[in-house]
Structure 1
Amino acid sequence: MKNQLKAMFTKAEFYMLTQYKVGKIYDMMMGETLQVYMYWCNMVWNRLSIPRRRFISWLVVQHRSQTTEKLARIGVSSSLACVICDQGDEIHKHLFSECPYIKISLLETKSWFGITVATQSLNRLIVWIDRSKKSKFRKNVWHANIYAFVYSVWRCKNDSYWQDLITRPHFLTDNCKRVVKERIRVVLPTIMAR
């Protein structure tokens, strides 16, 4: 912990702090990860999402899904390269916000749902959805869309790694649309009956 604090501040910067508060320093050290944990419960209890998509999204937000970087560390993969675009190391940040292939699909998905935030970061997108002044139903639909998108990326990555198949970005978007529409049709009559 001490070394992390030294890496964040020089002695001069540390002494210039007007007040030292442990909570404030902890928030600075955690960055956006802490914010996502605070908003995660809103995504988990969303009835419009299919449980397997919730689970995969939970792994992704927690940075616990198996990327090729993690697989290489344990000896399963021989390469760190992204199996989808082959333009960078496959870490969570690359796979869900920097991969050019995934960026295209995310932009199409966001525009279809009318999500206007400019961020490409999955974590910031989750926080933006929860902070938006939209109805609970619309937020749940957006969360279901994020689940469908993350699950589609996960499936695309696995298909690329295990079967050497790469799905078109437009197919990912179309799949998200189809899944969310079907789930709303299944769940909505139950919600309306209450």
Structure 2
Amino acid sequence: MQNGMNTREKLYRIGCCTSNACCICENATETRPHLFFDCDYSKAIVSLIKYWCGACILMSGAMTGGYGNGGGKLKQHVFAIILNDCIYHIWAQRNSSRINGALMVPSLVVQKIIEEVRQRIKLKCNAKVSRQEEVWLAHVGIRL
């Protein structure tokens, strides 16, 4: 996330690509900010994820280290996992669109993200959780 991604804008600039348009929407130059913050496809994924977890998670948090509204270390850990999975899957869909011309609908991407988050939390969470955290985890479908 530190400008190391080979977006089309970057590839176009060095002559490796014939177009700098976003592989997903083709409505703007494919830069990192466009791909993760401005592209309607990414916005749809983030919107569905926010609805699922009931949190104000900002994609920009991935850049600044802020992972959404508070709630303790466990929630912050879950928010970080959610953001990482969103970034990974948006980039994977961008690559799929670029290489194969195929793109999953946002709701299917979100289903994959949710399942991965649930599995990762189940595997990694061995600490005691408060009653409030337990309720929130149950709300998002994570039973410890």
- Please tell me the TM-score bracket, short chain as reference: 0.7 to 0.9
Structure 2 residue aligned with 1:114: 54
Report if the CA contact (8 A) 2:37-2:60 is conserved: no
Q: Partners in 1 of 2:73 and 2:36 — Cα distance? A: 25
Structure 1 or 2: larger helix share? Answer: 1
Pairing 1:66–2:6 present: yes
Q: 1:87 aligns with which of 10, 24, 27?
A: 27
Structure 1 residue aligned with 2:123: 186
Q: Which has the larger radius of gyration?
A: 1
Q: Using the TM superposition, give the Cα deviation of residue 176 of structure 1 relative to its aligned residue in structure 2, in angstroms.
A: 0.9
Structure 2 residue aligned with 1:101: 41
Q: Partners in 2 of 1:180 and 1:124 — Cα distance? A: 17
Q: Which letter maps to 1:89?
A: T
Q: Partners in 1 of 2:70 and 2:122 — Cα distance? A: 24
SS of residue paired to 1:151: helix
Report if the CA contact (8 A) 2:82-2:117 is conserved: yes
Q: 2:105 aligns with which of 168, 172, 186?
A: 168
**Identity percentage over the alignment?**
26
Q: Using the TM superposition, give the Cα deviation of residue 184 of structure 1 relative to its aligned residue in structure 2, in angstroms.
A: 1.1
Q: Partners in 2 of 1:73 and 1:166 — Cα distance? A: 25
Q: Which letter maps to 2:60?
A: N
| Corresponding pairs, count | 127
Q: Partners in 2 of 1:186 and 1:127 — Cα distance? A: 23
Structure 2 residue aligned with 1:155: 92
Q: 1:123 to 1:115 in 2, by over 3 A?
A: same
Encode CA deviations 1:23-47: one digit per residue, 9 max, x unaligned. xxxxxxxxxxxxxxxxxxxxxxxxx
Q: Partners in 2 of 1:75 and 1:95 — Cα distance? A: 20
Q: Using the TM superposition, give the Cα deviation of residue 88 of structure 1 relative to its aligned residue in structure 2, in angstroms.
A: 0.6
Structure 2 residue aligned with 1:45: none
Report if the CA contact (8 A) 2:70-2:76 is conserved: no
Q: Using the TM superposition, give the Cα deviation of residue 124 of structure 1 relative to its aligned residue in structure 2, in angstroms.
A: 4.5
Report if the CA contact (8 A) 2:8-2:19 is conserved: yes
Pairing 1:142–2:83 present: no
The TM-score normalised by the length of structure 1 is 0.60
The TM-score normalised by the length of structure 2 is 0.79
SS of residue paired to 1:129: coil
Structure 1 residue aligned with 2:67: 129
Structure 2 residue aligned with 1:50: none
Q: Partners in 2 of 1:186 and 1:109 — Cα distance? A: 21
Q: Using the TM superposition, give the Cα deviation of residue 116 of structure 1 relative to its aligned residue in structure 2, in angstroms.
A: 2.8
Q: Partners in 2 of 1:128 and 1:134 — Cα distance? A: 13
Q: Which letter maps to 1:136?
A: K
Q: Using the TM superposition, give the Cα deviation of residue 102 of structure 1 relative to its aligned residue in structure 2, in angstroms.
A: 1.1
With a CA cutoff of 8 Å and minimum separation of 6, indicate the structure with the bigger relative contact order. Answer: 1
